[in-house]
Amino acid sequence: MSTTSKTTEPDKAPNAGEDQDLGAAGSQLSTAPAEEATGLPSLGVIGWARWFWRQLTSMRVALLLLLLLSLGAIPGSLIPQTGIDETKVADFRDRHGTLAPIYDKLGLFHVYSSVWFSAIYILLFVSLIGCIVPRTWQFVGQLRGRPPGAPRRLTRLPAYTTWRTGAEPEQVREAALAVLKKRRFRARTVGDAVAAEKGYLREAGNLAFHIALIVMLIAFAWGQLFKSEGNKLILEGDGFANTLTQYDDFKSGNLFSQDDLDAFSFNLKDFTGTYELTGPNRGTPRTYQAKVTYSVGAYGKEKTTTIKVNEPLKIGDSKVYLVSHGYAPVVTVRDAKGDVVMDHEAVSLLPLDSNVTSSGAIKVMDGYRNAKGEKEQLGFNAFFLPTYGGKGSTMLSQFPALLNPMLALSAYHGDLGVDSGIPQSVYQLDKANLKEFKGSDGKLFKKQLTVGQTMTLPDGAGSVTFNGIKEWAGFQVTRQPASGWALAGAVVAIFGLAGSLFIQRRRVWVRAVKGADGITVVEMAGLGRSESAKVPEELGDLAAILYDRAPGAPDADDSADSSDTPDPQVVPAEGAEKQ
């Protein structure tokens, strides 16, 4: 029998080949792109471009951009935004004459459409794309590949066990192949060993997480660019058509157009609100809903539905939410001759507290003539209490329902300023060109009215009658495209992150060879992507199952029964060679 010897080069360590072999066994447990050599790239445009691209698509830069995006959103939450509330922005400018110009230059009044926020957003998007594409190709390549063969010395792996058996090596390898495949390992026989691998879903979860982030970024951007939101106050019996001119206020994204509005209309038939009468929750709504009839399109069939809090009416991409409720006193106004200039008109007032104490203005703009026959305009500051506590009580409602309604009016005459061309609120009086009606005491003329009572203006200037009360409901019509995609992306991101954190990539090798005494020696070893107690535990379970199929055999000089041979024990790397 001839023998061969293998020499080692003098400048290499004795175990250099084994180290390379072990490195090959653990290679590609991660699909993360291999780090390239450090140092500056070669000079030139292409070199710097490649270096910049590697930095941009690295994980640390992606995390840094994500942190910057989160920090950039903070001023958008703390500082009034022009796209959300122009009034608050104007008030901030008036109160902060020094800060406002600085905020303007930094784009802090429109953070989400500013250049710097968009730059961070786009760079993060590109970084994720540049990170995902190569990882995906590498992952696909690994799925198409096979588990690598076993290292020469399995004792050097983190988890290791061995035993001797009377079964033939081929039988042991067949049994190991069956056991590993049953445990959903990808397994194959390579030479005298079985190689198996498991945990590919870890990288699949990682890729799913990154792809879901991209989907969420696209969905949020799309939603911001094409969103719309409008509010409308509707009296019982009145209706609304979904056009821009019908809204009380409206805001939208930069790429929104009027053609994006869904074609529908609805009428408010009845609002129902009931409240707790007693106890610590007195005044808390029990029923809060609006019965409406609606139709889709110009010739759609009319349907009836009920809109409740958090139960909106959904039409196409639009949702109609019930967001508020209040009261509208019905009044009749007559001039000095007794002619009706406002006939049973409901005037909506805005609530000031949870008990619907309300305030507003009643404006008579046309048709009124005073005692001298001169044309004038009338204005009334109105204060309404659904439940008045009685004489001597505070001018605040005691309960949100109509238990004892009272309307308090103070009267003015002159020019309301509605013809000046300057927009003004329908809920406030511009008193610049108005004069007070004076009472007998020389003070502002005002009076408290219950339903059916009339306030007669001084000097025969006319009268105001409180005829009754209507209710109104406030609706918000929102259109948030791609919200479903954003939700789906968030769900996938959670599951993907969970998979990448809790699933471990690992490899197992089973070697079965004849020993010098003719007894089969079985070796099992496991290697994980990172140190974890799961690899030794799993290897122990697999070894126990395989041991049942290929039980231990006594040594040649041992007279004990093979049944007395103990089960194999998995040992750490330090003690592997002692076993």
* Type and span of the H or E element at 399: none
Residue of 540, 531, 543 lying closest to 504 (CA atoms): 531
For residues 24 and 19, what is the distance between their CA atoms, to the nearest angstrom? 9
Torsion of CA 261, 264, 269, 272, to 10 degrees: -50
3-state DSSP assignment of residue 403: coil
- Exposure string over 348-366, b if 16+ CB within 10 A, otherwise e: bbbbeeebbbbebbbbbee
Contacts of 104 (CB under 8 A, 6+ apart): none
For residues 69 and 99, what is the distance between their CA atoms, to the nearest angstrom? 23
pLDDT at 24: 56
Q: The pTM is what?
A: 0.69
Handedness of CA 555, 559, 563, 568 (dihedral sign): negative
Per-residue tokens: 172? 């042991």
pLDDT tens-digit map of 362-383: 999 988 988 888 899 999 999 9
Per-run averaged pLDDT (10 residues), the chain, 579 residues: 37 49 58 49 73 83 88 88 78 88 90 88 87 83 84 91 92 93 92 91 88 89 88 95 92 86 94 92 92 91 94 93 96 94 95 95 91 91 95 90 96 88 84 91 93 94 96 95 91 91 89 91 88 82 90 56 52 45
Q: Which domains does the chain have, with CATH numbers?
A: 40-143 (no CATH), 147-198+504-576 (3.30.310.80), 226-318+477-491 (no CATH), 326-472 (no CATH)
